[in-house]
Structure 1
Amino acid sequence: MTPSTFFLRSRPPALALGLALAVSACGGVATRSTPAEVVYSPATTQAAELARSGAVLTGQARIDNAHQIRQLLSQLDDATLAREAAALPAGDPLYTYMGEALMARGLPLPRPFDHAAWTFDANGRPPADGDGYRPPVKLALLLPLSGDMAVAASPVRDGFLAGYYAEHRRRPEVSFYDTTGSIAGTLSAYDRAVAEGNDFIVGPLDRAAVDAIFARGALPVSMLALNAGTESPPPGNASFALAPEDEGRAAADFLLRRNAKRVLVVAGGDDSQQRAVNALRTRLEENGGTVTDVAGEGIADLTPFATREGGVDAVFLAVRGASARELVPKLSLAGLAGKPRVATSQLLSGTGDAEKDRVLDGIAFPTETWTARGARGLPMASTTAELLPTARGPAAKLFAFGHDAWSLSAYMERLVTVADASLPGATGTLRVDGFGNVLRTPTWATFISGVVMPLPDGSDRP
């Protein structure tokens, strides 16, 4: 199939014109000692050995190896972690993990991650502006424009175009390639995009298709995948996702910052809820915490879980709003009403009646910056929803996601070459770690008198 190409300096199509109207409304390198002058801690020494051996591992062995490394690094205090990360020689595989740990703790990186494999200079891309804006010359957007995933692709596409038309500086020529929602269609679309001279690729959306592309290894054109699977991005590529795992990790970080390490989980049984729970558990364990129990959402009495030896510091709810309303009185009867309570964004599902939702007051959950506070380059979510069906209701999250995909494509060089660089996005504050993962720090919200409000201290800033 021939891609639909928009030469976006000409008059935009009707959809793009509507979006255009809708949106009209550097860290330095730290001085460090040479490796010979540093005596590394035992945990760092062991982690370094695992990092070197992990380069040849695959599958579950690689995942387990990384888990061990993170557990070892969690034993280091902030000063030791920062000092020993700065002392690592360039190219040391442990630096990627130590940098990840520094970012998770909100500590500065001593130097950027390795970026040699990125293709930022292809097609004679002009130099970056002072704020780091350096978009591609020709950009390919790989989306399922037909097939079962086309409905999900529509808000992503429209959010991308909204961000695109809100930018008045140089913009790339954009080509849309239909992946048809299949692996074969995605691989074919990627190959056509490369052959037709695109110097950056955004997409695809399907997890299996992302894995299929990343499994190829080194790629001729850098890409920002719009999902995360089991394959890590090859060097010079990145992965951006709104995955349940992200919310589980974000919830764990939220609780760990409040010194809540023993967490009782109440969860439903669907795949996304279980993935969030597993990610929460892993992040807690990597930082000295634990999930004390996992109770089903239909549990009648939570008292036995609340009175377990060692106690409970906090509660994590991976349930929808209706289930949460039934669980809150049970938490109170079990003596857990005063504990921090954190949920996934599924808490919003089935809410909207302030009288019924008052029972949810005080439960913190991650949400998009755009819908909670507003975002640069976009009108308020309520205004946009009046103009565009693809920005209404649950689709608003995907619209914000598409907007951030555009922003990442334009600022990716700064994010991977400047230590501690971040980008304020519609879905949260965005950063890129040494593994090529886009890290999203969400805005935190809660219910106040049954109405969703951003937490005063729940900023999306790391």
Structure 2
Amino acid sequence: MMRPLLLVLLLVLAGCASAPPKAPPPPAFAAATLQAQALAAGHASLTGKAKRDNNEAIEQLLAQLDDATLARDAAKLPAGDPLYTFAGRVLLRRGLPLPHPFERGGTSFGQANRPAADNDGYRPPLKVAVLLPLSGNQAAVADAVRDGYLAGYYGESRRRPSLRFYDTAAGVKAALARAATDGNDAAVGPLGRDEVDAVFADEPPLPLLALNRGTHAPAAGSAAFSLSPEDEGISLAQALIERGSQHVLLIAGNEDSQRRTRDAAKAQLERRGVKVIASLGYSAQMSDALAQLAQTHAPDAVLLVLKGPQARSAIPQLALANLLQLPRYASSQITSGTGKPADDMALDGTIFPTEPWLIRNVQGLPSQASVASQVDTAKGPAARLFAFGVDAWRLTAYLEHLAQQPNASIRGATGQLSLDGFGNVLRRPAWSRFSGGIAVPLADGAR
């Protein structure tokens, strides 16, 4: 009588034994992620210095995460979590994909009444106001940006908006108010940092693509595009991090843009655990200091934030200190004051970021050489601003696409362009190396 019962019991036990084991619970957030999440929760309520300090604290915490942990934790953040905007920005800076789009709420970038987008995302406004300092001491800068914008505009064969230019020299807020009254549905500009802060201190009357970046974040439905020294500093730091540098020697000039590049690069390196063994001011007599550093601190890479003539003086001093064999990176300012290969051979081996259009063909654009033969602002030092203007036009037409499509980017004259969750255009530059006294383009990833 017991045998059937025993058989049933044995079958039940066998079934239990064959059940698959439970999967282990997913890993918890990293401690740094949890701390950053707590700071991000209150970020929107902060203002001024408190907000800037909180942003820096969040950046410091996220910098502690390796790529895999950052990507994993970002993917696990719940919808609407304030930390995702910060984590996504760090992912994009590192060249990593977003796990899902940024939460942009009802952001429209003013596209509601426009014709539908083309397959590639092209959907420009109907009427665009371009706000530039067309008179005054910034007029020469504005001329190069304007010419680049018009070159991109007239190079497009599809539907284009009507354009109207407004001079901001007499006051940016008055120019913006006139642009709104005139029925424009979008604006591009202004160009000055103070002007950008002025228009983003309040809600602008039009969706705006600002052509600089100040202390105020872009308003909802607007964006900011800049060739800022700070962005270049971050790009330089990221390049050094990607090559595995751990102990960097930094030498910088004393101009404002050089200091800003230096400070941004140094801060980003230190966030990621890279030691800046010294941050030296440029001098024509650095040999003794460099020799002492070489003996006591042993850098594994050198970063120069110098113009060409300064770099030509610094590099022989690195050689005297037996530091010439180290990987050597420089800011884009190294091209200022160059152009004679016999002199510039001293710079050989130095890698620096640049705008793709200045060194190679960019799809959809005429070559820089062909444009420079017709337009003065497309050659010499102004060419970088010309390229910036070209990309300002491209962003005008593709801003909605960048905002709504996760991991969308466009190949621009100044680099690969994408949009972070704060409304800032991020730019990954091209890279070149001096060889035989000539700047030679590097293939993507070759640096």
Shift in Å, 1:134: 0.6
User: What corresponds to 1:331 in structure 2?
Assistant: 318
1:358-379: CA deviation from partner (whole Å, max 9, x where unpaired): 1101101111100111222322
Partner residue in 2 for 1:231: 216
Structure 1 residue runs of 5 or longer lacking an equivalent are 1-35
**2:198 is aligned with 1:212:** yes
1:307 alignment partner, SS class? helix
Q: After the TM superposition, which of the residue ranges 72-81 and 365-374 deviates more from structure 2?
A: 72-81
Higher relative CO (Cα under 8 Å, sequence separation at least 6) belongs to: 1
1: distance between equivalents of 2:428 and 2:222?
A: 20
- Identify the residue that residue 308 of structure 1 maps to in structure 2: 296
1:136-155 paired onto structure 2 within 5 Å: 136-155=125-144
Q: Name which of 334, 345, 355 aligns with 2:342.
A: 355
Superposed counterparts of 1:354-373, under 5 Å: 354-373=341-360
| Residue of structure 1 in register with 2:403 after alignment | 416
Cα distance in 2, alignment partners of residues 410 and 317 from structure 1? 36
Measured at CA, do residues 116 and 221 of structure 1 come closer, stay the same or move farther in structure 2, by a change above 3 Å?
A: farther
2:80 maps to 91
Equivalent-residue separation in structure 2 for 1:267 and 1:75 (angstroms): 26
CA distance in 1, matches of 2:394, 2:44: 31
Shift of 1:122: 4.6
CA–CA distance in structure 1, aligned partners of residues 440 and 429 of structure 2: 14
Aligned with residue 157 of structure 2, among 159, 168, 182: 168
Is the Cα contact below 8 Å between 2:430 and 2:444 reproduced in 1? no
Helix, strand or coil for the counterpart of 2:32?
Answer: helix
Residue 435 (structure 1) aligned with residue 422 (structure 2): yes
Matched with 1:31 is none
Question: Alpha-carbon deviation of 1:94?
Answer: 0.2
CA-CA distance at 1:104 after TM superposition: 2.2
- Offset at 1:390? 1.3
Q: Is residue 272 of structure 1 aligned with residue 257 of structure 2? A: yes
Rounded Cα–Cα distance in structure 2 between residues aligned with 1:377 and 1:408: 14
TM-score (normalizing by structure 1): 0.87
SS of 1:263's equivalent in the other structure is strand
* Cα shift at 1:236: 1.9
Alignment coverage as a number of residue pairs: 420
Shift of residue 61, structure 1, vs aligned partner: 2.2
Aligned to 2:281: 296
Per-residue Cα deviation, 1:317-374 (whole angstroms, up to 9, x for no partner): 1111111111111111212112111111111111111111111011011111001112
Report sequence identity in percent: 51
Residue 409 of structure 1 and its aligned partner are, at CA, apart by 0.7
TM superposition shift of 1:261:
3.0
Residue 148 of structure 2: which of 159, 177, 181 is its match? 159
In the alignment, which residue of structure 2 is the partner of 1:191?
177
Aligned partners of 1:37 and 1:306: how far apart in 2? 46
Task: Report the equivalent of 1:284.
Answer: 269
Q: Distance in 1 between matches of 2:100 and 2:416?
A: 20
Q: Secondary structure of 1:365's partner? A: strand
Whether the 8 Å contact between 2:36 and 2:83 is mirrored in structure 1 is: yes
- 1:423 deviates by 0.6
Q: Say which is worse superposed, 289-298 or 205-214, in terms of deviation.
A: 289-298
- Whichever residue aligns with residue 193 of structure 2, its letter is R
Q: d(CA) in 2 for partners of 1:230 and 1:331?
A: 37
Which residue identity does 2:403 align to in structure 1?
Answer: V
What code does the residue aligned with 2:237 have?
Answer: A
Instruction: Name the SS of the counterpart of 1:293 in structure 2.
Output: strand
Change (3 A) 1:193 1:123: farther
Residue 39 of structure 1 aligns to a residue in which SS?
coil
Per-residue deviation, residues 183-213 of structure 1 (Å, max 9, x unmatched)? xx11111111122221111000111000011
Deviation at 1:39, TM superposition (A): 3.1
Q: In 1, Cα distance between the equivalents of 2:85 and 2:444? A: 29
Aligned-partner residue type, residue 155 of structure 2: A
Q: Distance in 2 between matches of 1:327 and 1:339?
A: 14
Correspondent of 1:127 among 107, 116, 123:
116
- Asked if the contact 2:109/2:221 (under 8 Å) is kept, the reply is no
Whole-Å separation in 2 of the counterparts to 1:391 and 1:459: 27
> What is the deviation of 1:231?
1.5
Runs of 4+ in 1 over 4 A off after TM superposition: 457-460
Q: How much does 1:308 deviate?
A: 3.2
- Report deviation, 1:89: 1.9
Q: Distance in 1 between matches of 2:315 and 2:390?
A: 35
Which residue is equivalent to 1:68? 57
CA distance in 2, matches of 1:345, 1:159: 20
- 1:69 shift after superposition: 1.2
Q: Given the two structures, how large is their TM-score scaled by the length of structure 2?
A: 0.90
Answer with 318-327 or 115-124: which moved more. Answer: 115-124
Distance 1:421 1:459 in 2: 23
Q: Distance in 2 between matches of 1:244 and 1:93?
A: 27
Distance 1:254 1:208 in 2: 30
Paired residue secondary structure (2:42): helix
| CA offsets 1:100-133 (integer angstroms, 9 cap, x no match) | 1211222211111123343345561111110000
Q: Indicate if the aligned counterparts of 1:163 and 1:403 stay in contact, CA closer than 8 A.
A: yes
Contact 1:119 1:221 in 2 (8 A): no
